[in-house]
Amino acid sequence: MVKQRLSVLHLLLDFLYPTKCMLCDTFQKTTFDTICSNCKDAFQSTELGNWIDSVAHPTGIDRAYSGWFFNNEIQKVIHSLKYQERAKLGRELGRLLARELRYNSIGPLDILIPVPLHPVKKRERGYNQAEWIVKGLAEIWNVPYSLNSLVRRKYTVSQTTLNAEERLRNMKDAFRVRKPVAGLNVGVVDDVLTTGSTISACAVSLKKEGANQVIAISCSTPIR
């Protein structure tokens, strides 16, 4: 009886509020399909597992995981998330990432922390896309998260314009820990992990404050 009532409710919601794919705008079968199967199928799974040995700048990072390779489809998603004021797309991306990576192969984690934006950049954009990805991950993995345990105290230029050495210098002393992390296994989350320099800078700050392990978690990484 309960299942029948839920089915009727879903049909009614679908009729009154038809859901479109957040990426291609095609109508979905249910109100819960916010990204269609065609768009999901275009994401290229990395199947890398823990690829810390291949991260260019791993200092402070114990393990690294990325869901998909940075192909054209993921690039469109992340660009839309960051520059087209589609913050809620980040939560859905986080949910998909949680299912792609699977917690059992990554945990245990005590807390999830997004790579922070500088207050000026966050004000310009209106939100931090990594925070929304964290919310989606936390929802599926049932792991606590904190949006203000780590802050960016240094305004930095975009990493995309820099080479590997410049990325390291750009991130040096960029982050500060504001809440206790001693003894915790911390998952640091970002949209893209390229050389690892940004999450490494976060990890170094967290380890100085006594974090037990720092695990880098990202939606994507460049194709190798």
**What's the pLDDT tens digit per position in 172-186?**
778 999 999 999 999
Q: Do the bridges between strand 111-114 and strand 150-152 make them parallel or antiparallel, or are there none, so unpaired?
A: unpaired
What was the pLDDT predicted at 87?
76
Question: pLDDT by residue (tens digit) across 72-123?
Answer: 888 888 887 777 667 788 898 999 999 999 999 898 999 999 999 887 888 8
How many whole angstroms separate alpha carbon 140 and alpha carbon 172? Answer: 33
| pLDDT for residue 125 is more than 90 | no
What was the pLDDT predicted at 49?
93
Which H or E element spans position 138? helix 129-141
What was the pLDDT predicted at 113?
98
Please list the residues that pair with 111 across neighbouring strands: 186
What was the pLDDT predicted at 17?
47
Does this model's pTM top 0.75? My answer is yes
Phi, psi of 6 (to 5 degrees): -65, -40
Determine contact, residues 215/62, Cβ cutoff 8 Å: yes
Q: Stretch 34-46: mean pLDDT, rounded?
A: 80
- Compare 19 and 223 and report the one with higher pLDDT: 223
CA proximity to 6, closest of 27, 26, 31, 23: 31
What domains lie within the chain, and their CATH numbers? 1-41 (no CATH), 45-221 (3.40.50)
Determine contact, residues 196/53, Cβ cutoff 8 Å: no
